[in-house]
Amino acid sequence: MQKQKCVFLDRDGVLNRERGDYTYIIEDFEVIPGVPEALRLLKQHGFLLIVVTNQAGIAKGRYTKEDVLACHQKLQNSCDSLIDAIYMAPSHPSFSESLSRKPDSLMLERAIAKYNIDADASWLVGDSIRDLLAAAKVGVKAILVGPHEMGTYQNQVQDLFEATKLILDDKIG
């Protein structure tokens, strides 16, 4: 079986608006403008699209897995069901240890094994250093998005659409 290329996507701050608090109420879950178009472009160029998201609020009892799944359904509906898989880590070190939670890489490792993903041809788009650390552990190139102090990371852009342009132009080493 031929290996596949993939773009791993963090959720909050990459796909939906970062609110500064947990996003689990469906009415508060707002897909960022340009995200559906970016995902469509990546799919047209043969990338698998896999979300990898920490959801510590489940372990903390702030919300339920069902709340998160409802938000993920809204995401899929907003993006024409272009996302191939969604992995979530419902743990938090204060409540339950897990190698799935980023900056650890078990969510990515599971997806790489299940979908026969070529790490060398794949990327992760995240909005935090812990996302980048998870990508580095499995040899996936990473792009940092969002309102960070510019220049803090080599591959840094404003949003997923800009990240998509970088990926498709293959300007990342």
**What are the residue numbers of the active site?**
10, 12
Beta-strand (E) ranges in the chain?
6-9, 48-54, 85-89, 123-126, 141-145, 156-157
- CA distances (Å), origin 43, targets 11, 25, 68, 79, 109: 17, 28, 24, 11, 21
- Closest to 89 measured CA to CA, from 76, 102, 71, 75: 102
Which DSSP category does 145 fall into? E
- Closest to 13 measured CA to CA, from 161, 164, 147, 143: 147
Angle, vertex CA 17, rays to CA 161 and CA 103, nearest 5? 85
